[in-house]
Each structure stands twice: as structure tokens, then as C-alpha cells.
Amino acid sequence: MQETTNILHSIPTDPLTGALSVPIYQTSTFQQEAPGVNKGFDYSRSNNPTRKALEDCIAQLENGIAGFAFASGLAAVDAVIKLCQSGDEILAVDDIYGGTFRSFEKLYKKFGITARYVDTSDLDAVHQAIRRKTKIIWLETPTNPTLKISDIQAIAEIAKVHGCLLVVDNTFASPALQKPLDLGADIVLHSGTKYLAGHSDVIAGLIAVKTQELADEIKFIQNATGSILGPWDSWLTLRGIQTLELRIEKQCRTALEVARHLVSLDAVDQVNYPGLFFHPNHELAGKQQKQYGAVISFSFKEDSKEIAETFVCNTKLFKLAESLGGVKSLCCHPASMTHKGTPAETRQKAGISDSLVRLSIGLEAPEDLINDLDEAIKKIKVEPELVQ
């Protein structure tokens, strides 16, 4: 079945009224017929019909056995870390999302759960980095903001040999482009805030798992910690997901056009986009993903913060903001925004130069976006102090 057909029909009609749109069950509790006798719902932290519709939807989309919705992407990250116990180690992709890095380093280290980082696009490096106490291998692919790709299937095999779990943060690709559970991962998680909800109007986190054992564990953690997504935000996320495939297909096509245009510009140095033939992981991206994604990053030939800042302040359609995956295009300057807290040397090593700019491609017409970029680049050139 085609993806959109699958998504639309994974969302149930309301059994009580026949409502095609899942009702927002804004209730904390449910009347019981007798003590312990209920219709499958007793208290909304444990289970809520609107949240359940979303949870079943993400499970189906990711081909998992069960899905879970959390208050944010980071709450979903937190639930997965809680599968570990003191003494366990997480082996993570080296340019991992900053908030996940912060959880590993600033929250869980003191409980004896440690993380080490490796370039997971290098399979030998992954092999060599695994220790007896490695409990989880944690991937993001593509990564933020340099868009490195890791081979999920190959790393799933390594994980299996060593008896560890493979967790994939699938936020940048979304299930419309890549299905990690089908490639051998055990757990897939999302910041639903990005492509899944897709309209820059909600903060949400989602998890799908492959086995009943993991489903039981995550369900226990979700209920025990209470970091659930509310019914209204569940409904908004569900509403967004219904057009996921349509949106992302168009966004990816536009991204390829924009990336090719950036390559042709004199002022631009490196363009990072997996869809470009010279991207180091182009072939793997083509094999592993349906399309190449809708995030691009690039640097300027004159590698200065000022150039990049002038640029991002002069785009009109590309709004200067953190986040990605929405219907409106966004731009950001990682060195002074998302990666401000990262030491300069670590940033440079990760390929996040001073002039690196990240673009999230929305649903505007490609020619309008290209025109907007061209006009902003002209502003750089006419700044007198920059021309000297």
C-alpha cells in the first residue's frame, strides 16, 4: 500500500460517533463500570484515546509493534536512556543532537550511565569502539547540521553480534524517507516537532519499538515518569502526519534544486546535501533513504561569522529560527545558535565552521527560495566593511 494511503487509514474512525477526525479526549479520568472494569482507559497518564491513535499511527508508520508519544523529542530521548542502568554505556554518533548530548553528559553521567562518541559513518570505528558494557548504539542519520549518513543495516548487524540495542533518532529523515526498524534497529525515535507534525506549531516526541519486551519497558517508563503528550498536541501531531509524505516529497525535490543552485554560487564554499553526487555518503543515502531529505548546510568562501550572520539576517522567505521540518523555510547559523555551547575547536572538528548556515526547506516554490538566497547573498557583497 502507498504510504499516504497507509497513514490515512491507520487512523481510526471514532467508534462511538463515527467522527472521521479522532476526537480530542480532553479528560484526565474515565468512569469505570466496576472497580477495575473499564473500556481500556482508566487514567490519561496511562492511556488516552487521542494519544493512542497517534501512538498506533507511529507504530504503523515505522513498522513497529508499538508506539509511544511524549511531551517532546527530548522526553522520548530520556525514556530511551532510562532503559540503561548504572554501569551501562551508550556509544553515540559523534555529531549527535545537542540536547541528547546534554542529557548524556549533564544528567545521566552522575547516575553512572556514560556515553562515548564515534564517527558512525566509519564502520570499522564502530566495531572498535564497542566495549562489553556498551548497551546501546545511538545513531542519527542524516546528522545535524553536517548531514553525515550512517549505514543502519550494517550497524544493526554489529549491534546484534555484540548484544546491544540499536536506537535510531529518525527526526531528520522521517519515516516517509527511512524506516530504521526494517533495517534492523530495535528502537526508532523522533522529535515529532519537526517533519511529523510539520507545521512549527507543536512540541512532541515519538518512539516506535520492534519487540514486545521493549514495548513493555517503554510503556512502563512512560507511565512511571509521566512525560506524556497531551490530547490536544497528540491531535495536532496526528493532523500533521496525514500530509507527511506529500510535504516531504515536495520539500526534498526543492532541496535538491536549492542545493544545486548553492553549488553554482561564487560566494559559497562547501555545500552539504546527501543528494549531491560529491557528498561522501551519496550512494549510501540513495540506498537507505527514499529521497535525500530537506535540510541543507553550506559555508561561505570567506569563513567568517559576520558573513553568515549578515546572510541569515537578510533572507526574507527563510525565517531565522531554530528547528526544522515545517511548511515555512527556516535558516539558522549553528555556530551562534544551535551549537553556541559547543567549544570552537570541537565545532570546527565536526565540520561546523564559523560561516556554516543551515537551511530547512519548506513548501515555498523553489524559484522563490532561490531568489531569496540570491538577494541575501547580494547584501553580503554590498556591505562596505565586508568588501574591504
Ligand X SMILES: *Cc1c(COP(=O)(O)O)cnc(C)c1O
Q: Can you give the binding site for ligand X, defined by CB under 6 A?
A: 72-74, 97, 99-100, 140, 144, 169, 171-172, 191, 193-194, 203, 205
Residue whose beta carbon is closest to ligand X: 73
Eight-class DSSP state of 104: I
Q: At closest approach, how far in Å is the CB of 163 from ligand X?
A: 26
**Rounded Cα gap, residues 11 and 374, in angstroms:** 42
The smaller minimum CB distance to ligand X, of residues 197 and 307, is found at 197
**Rounded Cα gap, residues 77 and 105, in angstroms:** 13
CA angle 346, 288, 57 (to 5 degrees): 100
194 catalytic? Reply is yes
The smaller minimum CB distance to ligand X, of residues 292 and 300, is found at 292
- Residue 131 CB partners (closer than 8 Å, separation 6+): 89
Q: Which residues pair with 296 in a beta bridge?
A: 359
Catalytic residue among 194, 210, 247, 347: 194
For 72, 121, 149, 205, the CA distances from 285, given in Å and listed in that order, are: 27, 11, 7, 24
Catalytic residue among 78, 88, 94, 169: 169
Q: At closest approach, how far in Å is the CB of 371 from ligand X?
A: 28
For 156, 302, 304, 379, 380, the CA distances from 384, given in Å and listed in that order, are: 53, 15, 15, 10, 9
45 catalytic? Reply is yes
Q: 559555508: which residue's cell?
A: 299
The smaller minimum CB distance to ligand X, of residues 176 and 376, is found at 176
The smaller minimum CB distance to ligand X, of residues 10 and 360, is found at 360
Q: At closest approach, how far in Å is the CB of 363 from ligand X?
A: 19
239 catalytic? Reply is no
Q: At closest approach, how far in Å is the CB of 171 from ligand X?
A: 4
- Residue 236 CB partners (closer than 8 Å, separation 6+): 197, 199, 201, 202, 204
The smaller minimum CB distance to ligand X, of residues 147 and 377, is found at 147
**Rounded Cα gap, residues 241 and 197, in angstroms:** 6
169 catalytic? Reply is yes
- Residue 36 CB partners (closer than 8 Å, separation 6+): none
Annotated active-site positions, please? 45, 97, 169, 194
